[in-house]
Copies of this chain bind each other. A is one copy, B any other.
Amino acid sequence: MVKRTRFDDSDCPVARSVDAIGDWWSLLIVRDAFDGSRRFGEFQRSLGVAKNILSARLRALVAGGILETVPAAGGGAHNEYVLTDKGRDLFPVIVALRQWGEARFFAPGEPHSELTDRRDGRPLRPLRVYAQDGRPLTPDETVVSKVAEV
């Protein structure tokens, strides 16, 4: 296996996040966990990937503190996978990817899954980036300060 480029000591939070997620489609496991998948077989059916590959990705997500294993809900012998608080904090990342996909990868009228408000079944508002004073910001209205003491 090719040695992976690492960004875990970067001073950029984007880089550390990308590094922690690791293989990029691991986010689809996180998506499935948000959607209620808990068992190995549920993830496998959803993703259609080989069992050994899925096992490795699940182990990496557990090692990274994004998923944790818990005893099966029904008292069975197997473990199930649930999001930790750290994993649940990925919700805006998943929603942002979903909305980009909806806007850019589906033809008008093409069916797609949709994330909706459980209360009224309506789709969510598009995510927007806001300044502290509440102004919506475009990328050009922002600037990265390369290293800031916090």
- Tell me the A residues contacting B by CB distance below 8 Å: 5, 7-8, 11-25, 27-28, 31, 34-35, 47-49, 53, 86, 88-106, 108-125, 127-135, 137-150
SS class of chain A's interface: helix, strand, loop or mixed?
mixed
Extra pairs beyond A118-B143, A120-B132 (7, CB < 8 Å): A22-B24, A23-B24, A35-B144, A93-B100, A113-B147, A116-B143, A122-B131
A27 to chain B, nearest CB (A): 6
| Distance (whole angstroms) from the CB of A64 to the closest CB of chain B | 10
Partner of A13, one of B34, B35, B99, B137: B99
Q: Which residues of B contact A96 (CB under 8 A)?
A: 92-93, 95-96, 127
Q: Which one, B92, B110, B125, contacts A99 given CB within 8 A?
A: B92
B125 contacts A132, CB within 8 Å? yes
B117 touches A132 (CB 8 A): yes
Q: Which residues of B contact A104 (CB under 8 A)?
A: 17, 20, 86, 89
B residues less than 8 Å from A20 (CB atoms): 101, 104-105
Distance between Cα atoms of A119 and B100 in the complex (Å): 27
Which of B91, B112, B127 is close to A147, meaning CB atoms less than 8 Å apart? Answer: B112
A144 adjacent to B132 (CB under 8 Å): no
Check if A14 sits within 8 Å of B94, measured CB to CB.
yes
- Do B88 and A148 touch across chains, with their CB atoms under 8 A apart? no
Q: In the complex, how many angstroms separate the beta carbon of A35 from the nearest chain B beta carbon?
A: 5
- Which chain B residues lie closer than 8 Å to A47 at the CB level? 5
